[in-house]
Amino acid sequence: MSMTSTLPDLPVRAILTELGQVLAHAPSVVLSAPPGAGKTTLVPLFLLDQPWRGDGRIILLEPRRLAARAAAGRMASLLGEAVGETVGYRMRLDSRVSARTRIEVVTEGVFARMLLDDPELPDVSAVLFDEFHERSLDADVGLALALDVQQALRDDLKLIVMSATLDVERVAALLGGAPVIESRGRSFPVDVRYQERPSSERVEDAVTRAIIEAHRQETGSILAFLPGQAEITRTAERLEGRFDASTIVTPLFGNLSQKEQDAAIRPAPAGTRKIVLATSIAETSITIDGVRIVIDSGLQRLPAFEASTGITRLETLRVSRASADQRAGRAGRTEPGIAIRLWHQGQTAALPAFTPPQILSSDLAGLVLDLAHWGVTDPQGLAFLDPPPPTTWQEATALLTQLGAIDANGALTARGKQIRQLALPPRLAAMTVSAAREGQACEACLLAVLLTEQGLGGNGVDLEDRLRRFKSERGERAEASRGLARRMAKGLSAGKETNDPVQPGMLLMHAFPDRIALQRGGRGRFVMANGRGAELPETERLAGASMLVIADLTGRAGGQRILAAAEISRADVEAHMPQAIIREDQTFFDRPSRQVRARRVTRLGAIVFEETPLPRPRGETAARALAQGVRQLGLAVLPFSKEAMQLRDRIGFLYRTIGDPWPDMSDESLLAGLEDWFVPFQGETRGIDDISAASLSEGLQSLVPHAVARDLARLAPTHFEAPTGQRHPIRYDGDEPVLSIRVQELFGLKTHPSIGGGRLPLLLELVSPGHKPMQTTRDLPGFWAGSWKDVRADMRGRYPKHPWPEDPANAAPTTRAKPRGT
């Protein structure tokens, strides 16, 4: 009997035959199927019978541990087996596989590591990327690497990208024009209702109100989506005591233990109802039986990485339309349902179509490290649906270089190989590698796992306290986490572990050297080695510490709040990171006095421990510091004379109209090139007020190549000589040269004034004797023959003492009024 005939009658069954026929000839396929179609469960089981599989394993990638366990459990139950036989799973803190396992459900990060450790993927016949629309960083990287393997090493490897909502054309193109198969699905109708939440109402209050109303008016279990754990906890508190024993309120988020998560998705006992308070974790891949009401806050919490600060913060954002549809679909899995959206119906169209790919807003240090191991130093060498942002890539490269993981060419170092072998973020892996040399691997690994598994040891700021709690914490998750730390430490330890007590701060210095912080500005206020500020509430014990090393913080630059830190001292830094403390003479620009000054400092990055004033510097060193001051204050601080400004405008005009070799005179270009045109001409200048206008003119002139300098006067003359013999300045600050002149001085001129050997006409701003604008023209003879008549009629009454001839082209030019009596 074939596997297909024994599978449950779910919508995706209808396309399995087509899928088999396509995969018999194509290396890749894209499968689009709505929620509830059964793709996660049925497709891997169907592939077991395909002749091309041989005895190879099928790898199914899931975005989360909960989804991986649930998918493995459902498939195993359909086969009448226990998990770990034909179907197993593998994840960071738990795995159930055996020699019999042929379908292996893995989390996306685990798959990337499998691929990096053994690129040929021996005994693997197919890789299925489930819920790819979530666009996690690990999924994008895994697909890029799998495509590379398929093209270079394994043309027999089958790749199947599956999703409920997906931009299928883009993905199919990435897979080399892969066929697209679509399953229409068969869900029950969902009545979507809107209850707009007032902006002044807290999200947990709105969700609580909606739950109570829905529970009273409707039947069935309720699934409510909230942005995060904090809102779930507050909603649960508000619901406490609202229902009798026939209704169970249960949370569902990532930090819960496996048992707690499994309890949340388990069907409600007969005669009871369940209210599940969940994050986005419940959007895809799992089914909560009995749910027919979904309440959607419309919010989600996503990580956002700031390359400039090296900090990942969580942002609360509106969900995408795809996510809103996924959430609503949860209400129609087994019977007609209701989805209550806590926003105005008109706002739905304004939601983004899809959740942004993580690769565009993530710390890429782990990716750069993995690709260095792969032999790739330029991400353009791999097929990414969205390539990594260059700025974030460069910041990650700089960090890994600082950690000693890669060399100047981006190649993996011996230390980098050790760092990459650990299933930890690069910073924490570098910490454990450094600690192992001191016999402190076990303590460092415990601390690293504590920082990567949220909630272990509590959520306090003080990591010393949290580590102490974690060591004695009970529970399956804590035990598994300590076991992981012990395995890591065993692989790292080169010798005997020290029995000396190790403070977390001394370990964390090696992971976050840029976040060593000194108290400055009062209790709870700190400045970090990277120059940024960070704060703690004054009530926190660590707020009184003189120095900290900060492992986690949130908020934007200028208002960052410390989430996790440990106390250290300057003596700790000097003992364990002496190379980080620098003693040097500095020349710097003092903004308040607008002067260049010098000092002798002892510093750690931007943290200055001691400083002693030195005599004021002069010469090139002072000029370079002064240039930094100009960059701080802006180009407007420089005392350009009228002549210097005109010179700048003339050269800039030629750059805009001719281009090279004439130099760019924009503010941005001049500020970027101060070392070329400003510094060499400052001599003994030591402050902004000492800068001379002549030095600025010399500097600007020096930017003009010698070969064309003689053409400046011809192509962009400073003045126009009127028929009266008077010289008038020409302006070059716009798109064309402008001459502002009293009309009487042009009488008798039969050709239009121009520059550049007559090739470029001047824009004439003709002004009255009172210097008021009258007319602009690019055709003086046409003006004389045309609109002059109207101008004359208007002006002769206003300025009767000045000449207004009927034929100005043949009149004598003048700068004077008419003689008395005429």
Query: Edge-to-edge strands of the sheet including 773-777?
Result: 719-721, 727-731, 738-742, 763-767, 773-777
Kindly give, in sequence order, each residue whose CB lies less than 8 Å from that of residue 99, ignoring residues fewer than 6 positions away.
none
Strand bridging mode 560-568 / 533-535: parallel
Q: Which two tokens stand for residue 595?
A: 């002067």
Question: Residues of the chain with pLDDT > 70: what percent?
Answer: 95
What pLDDT sits at residue 492?
79
Identify the CATH class of 190-359: alpha beta
DSSP conformational letter for 601: E
Q: Which two tokens stand for residue 152?
A: 């270079």
Calpha distance 58→42 (Å, rounded):
13
Region 154-160 average pLDDT: 92
What pLDDT sits at residue 309?
60
How open is the CA angle 14-19-5, to the nearest 5 degrees?
50
- Amino acid identity, position 605: G
Kindly give, in sequence order, each residue whose CB lies less than 8 Å from that of residue 647, ignoring residues fewer than 6 positions away.
697, 700, 701
Region 703-726 average pLDDT: 89
DSSP per residue, 740-783 = EEEGGGGTT--S--EETTTTEE-EEEEE-TTS-EEEEES-HHHH
What pLDDT sits at residue 332?
80
Calpha distance 122→267 (Å, rounded):
39
Instruction: Lowest mean pLDDT of 178-187, 319-328, 403-412, name the range.
Output: 178-187
Report pLDDT digits (tens) over 193-239: 999 999 889 999 999 999 999 999 998 899 999 998 889 999 999 99
Calpha distance 305→308 (Å, rounded):
9
Burial of 682-697, coded b for 16+ CB within 10 Å and e otherwise, reads beebbbbebbeeebbb
Report pLDDT digits (tens) over 115-131: 888 888 889 999 999 98
Query: In this structure, what are the phi and psi dihedrals at residue 60, rounded to the nearest 5 degrees?
Result: -110, 120
As annotated, the residues of the chain forming the CATH 3.40.50.300 domain(s) are 3-182, 190-359
3-state secondary structure of 231: helix
Per-residue pLDDT for 92 more than 90? Answer: no
3-state secondary structure of 640: coil
Report pLDDT digits (tens) over 449-485: 998 887 888 888 999 999 999 998 888 888 888 988 8
Report pLDDT digits (tens) over 631-645: 999 999 999 999 899
How open is the CA angle 734-735-737, to the nearest 5 degrees?
75
Kindly give, in sequence order, each residue whose CB lies less than 8 Å from that of residue 658, ignoring residues fewer than 6 positions away.
715
Region 437-441 average pLDDT: 86
Give the residue from 759, 544, 510 showing the smallest Cα distance to 658: 759
What pLDDT sits at residue 45?
95
Count the alpha carbons within 13 Å of 493 in the hemisphere toward its beta carbon: 17
Q: How confident is the model at residue 310 (pLDDT cuts 50, 70, 90)?
A: low
Yes or no: domain 3-182 corresponds to CATH 3.40.50.1100: no
Residue that wins the pLDDT comparison between 563 and 109: 563
Rounded (10°) angle between helices 476-492 and 441-452: 140
Helix/strand/coil percentages in the chain, nearest 5: 40, 20, 40
What pLDDT sits at residue 466?
92
For the chain, the residue count is 822
What pLDDT sits at residue 1?
44
Region 535-556 average pLDDT: 89
Region 644-660 average pLDDT: 90
Per-residue pLDDT for 521 more than 90? Answer: no
Per-residue pLDDT for 497 more than 80? Answer: no
Region 601-614 average pLDDT: 91
Unique residue bearing structure tokens 């034909």 = 86
The pLDDT mean for the chain works out to: 87
Residue that wins the pLDDT comparison between 185 and 98: 98
User: From the CB of residue 14, how many other CB atoms can be counted at a distance below 10 Å?
Assistant: 14
Cα torsion angle, 790, 791, 795, 800, sign: negative
Counts for the chain of helices (H) and strands (E), in that order? 29, 31
What pLDDT sits at residue 5?
59
Calpha distance 173→168 (Å, rounded):
8
Report pLDDT digits (tens) over 160-184: 999 876 678 888 899 989 999 988 7
Cα torsion angle, 556, 561, 562, 563, sign: negative
Per-residue pLDDT for 664 more than 80? Answer: yes
Identify the helix (H) or strand (E) that includes residue 598.
strand 595-604
Per-residue pLDDT for 496 more than 70? Answer: no
Dihedral, CA of residue 338, residue 342, residue 344 and residue 346, to nearest 10: -60
Give the residue from 508, 517, 365, 514 showing the smallest Cα distance to 432: 508
Region 578-604 average pLDDT: 91
Q: What is the 3-state secondary structure (H, E, C) of 420-475?
A: HHCCCCHHHHHHHHHHHHCCCHHHHHHHHHHHHCCCCCCCCCEHHHHHHHHHHCCC
Give the residue from 76, 77, 68, 78 showing the smallest Cα distance to 286: 68
Exposed / middle / buried, residue 570 (Cβ in 10 Å: 0-12, 13-18, 19+) = middle
Q: How confident is the model at residue 665 (pLDDT cuts 50, 70, 90)?
A: very high
Give residue 749's Cα distance to chain centre: 62
What pLDDT sits at residue 56?
92
Give the residue from 356, 366, 375, 324 showing the smallest Cα distance to 153: 375
Cα torsion angle, 368, 374, 378, 381, sign: negative
Q: Which two tokens stand for residue 414?
A: 């011996």
Query: Edge-to-edge strands of the sheet including 595-604?
Result: 581-590, 595-604, 607-614
Say if residues 97 and 69 touch (Cβ distance below 8 Å): no
Calpha distance 506→439 (Å, rounded):
13
Q: How confident is the model at residue 820 (pLDDT cuts 50, 70, 90)?
A: low
